[in-house]
């Protein structure tokens, strides 16, 4: 972590040891976790959510540029500073990958994991981080009963997503009026919507 320097990654400032313990001195994120924030404020308004997701995406893009897979991106590991800016943290199971290196076997938190993580096959660590990003974007506090069954079902189902989005965002979805008579995945959107830019 000491080698990572990005405004949206929680900075490790110092490490020192006593006879029995190791202490990590880290940047202070006074507003706590995104999980706590969402539980208190839910739902977030779209502008705030866009800014937070943009900042998180910048952090993940940075670690991926260093060939590091986080492997546990979730609301609990996204902290907020005094101004509400995102700080990605908890690199306890992250790994710097050699060229072409793959993972095999379960790693992370079940409700955020990509389907391939549960299979007995090799998978890319960076793409699985991207899946976790998408799960954060559509995050809602989980139910215990759903979590208990999730690991056995995730490879067979598509996650149920919350559909409480604004009319502006809904307009970005393909529909009969704007899809140019092409297949759904080739639809051309004839609207110009600005891409959210993270705060400095």
In this predicted model, what pLDDT tens digit does every residue of 78-94 receive, in sequence order?
Answer: 999 999 999 999 998 88
Catalytic machinery residues = 72
Q: What is the pLDDT at residue 107?
A: 85
CA 108 remoteness from chain centre: 12
What does the alpha-carbon distance between residue 84 and residue 32 come to, in Å, rounded to a whole number? 10
DSSP per residue, 128-153: HHHHHHHHHHT--PPPHHHHHHHHHH
Kindly tell me if the per-residue pLDDT of 165 is higher than 70: no
Q: Which residues pair with 15 in a beta bridge?
A: 24
Among residues 98, 99, 90, 74, the alpha carbon closest in space to that of 29 is found at 90
pLDDT range class, residue 162, cuts 50, 70, 90: low
Q: What is the pLDDT at residue 173?
A: 53
Among residues 11, 8, 9, 34, the alpha carbon closest in space to that of 24 is found at 11
Backbone angles phi, psi at 98, to 5 degrees: -75, 165
Q: Please enumerate in sequence order all residues whose Cβ is within 8 A of that of 115, keeping only pairs 6 or more positions apart, or say none.
A: 154, 155
What does the alpha-carbon distance between residue 111 and residue 155 come to, in Å, rounded to a whole number? 12
3-state secondary structure (DSSP) of residue 23: strand
Q: How far apart are the first and last CA of the chain?
A: 22
What does the alpha-carbon distance between residue 188 and residue 181 come to, in Å, rounded to a whole number? 9
Among residues 24, 38, 20, 21, the alpha carbon closest in space to that of 138 is found at 38
Which domains can be identified in the chain, with CATH numbers?
A: 29-186 (1.10.510.10)
β pairing state of 103-104 and 122-123: antiparallel
Average pLDDT over residues 119-124: 86
Answering whether pTM is above 0.75, one says no
Tens of pLDDT along 7-60?
A: 999 999 999 999 999 998 999 999 999 999 988 877 788 899 999 999 999 999
Q: What is the pLDDT at residue 111?
A: 87
Q: What is the CA angle 106-61-184, rounded to 5?
A: 80
Q: Which residue has the higher pLDDT, 103 or 172?
A: 103
pLDDT range class, residue 151, cuts 50, 70, 90: low
What does the alpha-carbon distance between residue 184 and residue 33 come to, in Å, rounded to a whole number? 37
Q: How many other CB atoms sit within 10 Å of the CB of residue 117? A: 24
Q: Which residue has the higher pLDDT, 159 or 94?
A: 94
Q: Which residue has the higher pLDDT, 10 or 167?
A: 10
Under a CB-based contact definition with an 8 Å cutoff, are residues 15 and 22 in contact? yes
């Amino acid at each position: 972590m000491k080698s990572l320097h990005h405004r949206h990654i929680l900075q490790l400032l110092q490490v020192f040891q006593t006879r029995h313990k190791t202490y990590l001195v880290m940047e202070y994120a006074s507003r706590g976790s995104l999980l706590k924030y969402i539980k208190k404020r839910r739902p977030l308004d779209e502008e705030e959510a866009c800014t937070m997701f943009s900042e998180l995406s910048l952090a993940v893009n940075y670690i991926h540029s260093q060939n590091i897979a986080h492997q546990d991106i979730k609301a609990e590991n996204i902290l907020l500073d005094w101004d509400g800016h995102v700080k990605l943290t908890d690199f306890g199971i992250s790994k710097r990958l050699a060229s072409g290196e793959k993972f095999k076997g379960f790693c992370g938190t079940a409700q955020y994991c990509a389907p391939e993580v549960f299979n007995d096959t090799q998978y890319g660590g960076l793409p699985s981080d991207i899946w976790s990003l998408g799960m954060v974007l559509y995050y809602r506090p989980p139910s215990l009963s759903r979590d208990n069954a999730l690991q056995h079902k995730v490879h067979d189902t598509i996650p149920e997503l919350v559909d409480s989005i604004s009319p502006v965002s809904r307009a970005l979805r393909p529909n009969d009026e704007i899809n140019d008579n092409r297949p759904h995945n080739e639809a051309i959107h004839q609207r110009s919507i600005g891409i959210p830019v993270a705060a400095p």
